[in-house]
Amino acid sequence: MTKKPNFLFIITDQHRADHLGCYGNKVVKTPNIDRIAAGGTRWERFYVANPICMPNRASIMTGRMCSVHGARHNGIPLSKDHTTFVELLRDAGYSTGLIGKSHLQSFTGLPATNRFEARDGLTTPSAHLRDAYKNNRHSTEYDLEVVPNWDRPLADRLKGSFYGFDHVEVAADHGDQASGDYLLWARGQCPDFDALTGPENALPDNRIKAPQAWRTAVPEELYSTSWIADRSETWLADQADRDAPFFLQMSFPDPHHPFTPPGRYWEMYDPADMVLPASFGQGDLPPIRAMKDAMEKGTDPRDNQNPFAVTEDEARAIIALTYGMITMIDDAIGRVLNRLETLGLADNTIVVFTSDHGDYMGDHGLMLKLLLHYQGIIRVPFIWSDPATAPQHNVDQGLGSSIDIAATILARAGIQPFNGIQGRDLLTTEPPDAIVVEEDSQRTMTGFDRPQRVRTVVTDRYRMSLRQGEDWNELYDLQNDPDELTNLFDAPHASNVRQTVTETMLRRMIELQDRAPLPAYRA
């Protein structure tokens, strides 16, 4: 019987597709990720199911859209009632490991902004009847990643596997604020580690002035990226003498903000060499105008998770620091790939690379993510390198989605997927006419007077986004307007296009309606 393949699944955080050399970037140095692409296939048009961390990571794990698995935005954990593809791998005899960021559960511990509110004059339901789901994921089993409670390793607090992972070593948060199991380790290595982190302990630097950027005092060897590489190498070494195939998810919290690459990576790239996106400073959608106005007036703190406007100098500085974080990740990946070679595992290990979502990184003068579905945040890298079948420098132009990752890995492992999986096997099936991106916000952000609900469709040529409760929507011709500068939604000459794309979107959304659970009877 042919031995089942191993999998090394690498995922970064908030990393747009064009911030890799193999995707055409001429500045950022990513030789090791480029090497993966050179030995396999990269998808040119690969999109997230949701441009937010927790929802899209849940979609990757389940192969299902957020509106179906229910983790619609950050703050809603993935239900343990939902099957993950890692559980199927484990069920088929795979050894499964997760090292790095998980974010399948909340980690801030902060109260939600969207809560059940009692109404005057009406009888308030009992606590267990206030949600459509009686198990609404508010129990302690969904608090495993809450950072204030992280007093001992996650593995010591588990009963059974973690969403199918037998081995877990988790880093929560980002930059030099990373925490979780990683922070417990770092404090063990350096008792005064907390005195090295955060802007209040930053090293002096006159070169970079930008929101959420400081020169961390954490040395490279104690930074989360290095820890993830170290622990991954150790875990892989443990697998070398075992007969069971393995699946390792190596998950980096970077290059997500704050922008704190350590050591030499802080000054690896000169902001003056950074090229701003062609759309920088352009765009007149209401939230873009509002964010620019808030920046000019100084009313936007620009120190949280909400998107914000930046100046040209700030954009160049942030891009330079982001490239530093990406190159550090690439160096870490190189170490692990070399370890696979020395352990004799490379010839039977499929390497997969992707990210959970992108970042504006200066698109239209904005930073971070949320609510505006420009290509920078919804299009991410996806690379598949299989030593058994790897073509050289192959590029797939078909539409792909984060929900396809689960189905593709299961198919290659020779495992039948569960009922209700919505993604497709990227290697053997034809791409759809369109992909759908969902987003539901929990809080109000600059430029909006209410939390938003957005649905986007991307076809071979167009991107259209429809918004609930707003009097404006978006339609762009990606073929003639790749920088998404001209909104055609209300243009009379584009009315036929709008009608056709709307029908395509509706048909795709029907296709993505849930087919689970299986019926017990014909009734």
- Under CATH, which number does the domain 6-110+140-427 receive? 3.40.720.10
Query: Range with the lowest mean pLDDT among 100-114, 142-156, 317-331, 353-367?
Result: 100-114
- The domains of the chain are located at 6-110+140-427
Nearest residue to 101 via CA among 47, 222, 182, 46: 182
Closest by Cα among 97, 108, 74, 15 to 382:
15
Peptide bond into 262 cis (omega under 30): no
Task: Name the residue with higher pLDDT: 447 or 457.
Answer: 457
- Please list the residues that pair with 385 across neighbouring strands: 351
DSSP string, 371-400: S---HHHHB--EEEE-TTTPPSSEEEEEEE
**C-alpha dist (Å) from residue 437 to 109, 186, 350, 402:** 27, 37, 27, 10
204, with CB counted inside 10 A (0-12, 13-18, 19+), is exposed
For β-strands 366-367 and 167-172, DSSP reports them as: unpaired
For the record, the structure tokens of 207 come out as 């070169």
What pairing do the DSSP bridges indicate for beta strands 308-309 and 167-172?
A: unpaired
- Average pLDDT, integer, range 135-153: 92
Confidence of residue 2 (pLDDT cuts 50, 70, 90): low
Please state whether 281 falls in left (phi above 0), alpha (psi between -120 and 50) or beta: left
> At which residue do the structure tokens 């420009």 appear?
374
This model's pTM is above 0.95 = yes
Over residues 232-261, the pLDDT tens digits come to: 999 999 999 899 999 999 999 999 999 999
Number of residues that make up the chain:
523
Q: Which residues of 258-276 are buried (b: 16+ CB within 10 A; e: fewer)?
A: bbbbbbebbebbebeebee
Distance between CA atoms of residues 272 and 269, nearest Å: 9
Question: Six-digit token pair at 29?
Answer: 């140095």
Q: In this predicted structure, what is the pLDDT of residue 477?
A: 98
Q: Tokens 């290509």, residue?
A: 375
Q: What pLDDT is attached to residue 114?
A: 77
Among the residue ranges 67-76, 187-196, 331-340, 444-453, the one predicted with the least confidence is: 444-453
Tell the burial category of 352 from Cβ atoms under 10 Å away from its Cβ (0-12, 13-18, 19+). buried
Average pLDDT over residues 512-520: 94
* Average pLDDT, rounded, for the chain: 95
Listed residue (362, 366, 320) closest to 205, CA to CA:
320
